[in-house]
């Protein structure tokens, strides 16, 4: 599996540099936003980024997080808080009634943390695609 170097901008196209955030997509839009041959990462693939370690940094004045190290690293841009969507959904019931509330599983980072979180639908987030090598 290989991570794209850049976020998705317009549907089916990557932005032109790693520091550009691109467009924000809700889950249903995000599922078809990656260029041909690319797809949304799974929850497990996002967890692999967390396990690879990260450093808060800036590229050309744009803050974000660098995941991994050396030639095996990617930069995810996004001000103070970053949210990157996965292809995974989570349903929760709260014992109030029989309705299940849907959440999308995301990579979420801030100034001093990186984790996998759930966000209530329909949230819009950045997209970083993956492909099979």
- 21-33 pLDDT, tens digit each: 999 998 889 999 9
pTM for the whole structure? 0.86
Contact 76, 65 (CB under 8 A): yes
Cα–Cα distance measured from residue 14 to residue 5, given in angstroms and rounded to the nearest whole number: 9
Given this model, what pLDDT does residue 96 score? 53
pLDDT in tens, 63-94: 999 999 888 899 999 866 788 888 887 765 55
Instruction: Report the number of distinct structural domains present in the chain.
Output: 1
Could you tell me the residue range of the domain that residue 40 belongs to? 2-131
């Amino acid at each position: 599996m290989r991570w794209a170097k850049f976020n998705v901008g317009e549907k089916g196209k990557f932005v032109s540099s790693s520091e550009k955030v691109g467009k924000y997509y809700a889950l249903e839009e995000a599922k078809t936003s990656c260029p041909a041959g690319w797809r949304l990462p799974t929850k497990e693939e996002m967890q692999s980024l967390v396990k690879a370690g990260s450093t808060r940094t800036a590229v050309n004045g744009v803050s974000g997080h660098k995941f991994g190290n050396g030639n095996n690293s990617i930069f995810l841009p996004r001000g103070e808080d970053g949210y990157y969507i996965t292809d995974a959904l989570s349903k929760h019931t709260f014992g109030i009634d029989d309705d299940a509330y849907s959440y999308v599983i995301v990579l979420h980072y801030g100034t001093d943390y990186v984790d996998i979180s759930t966000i209530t639908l329909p949230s819009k987030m950045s997209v970083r695609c993956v492909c099979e090598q």
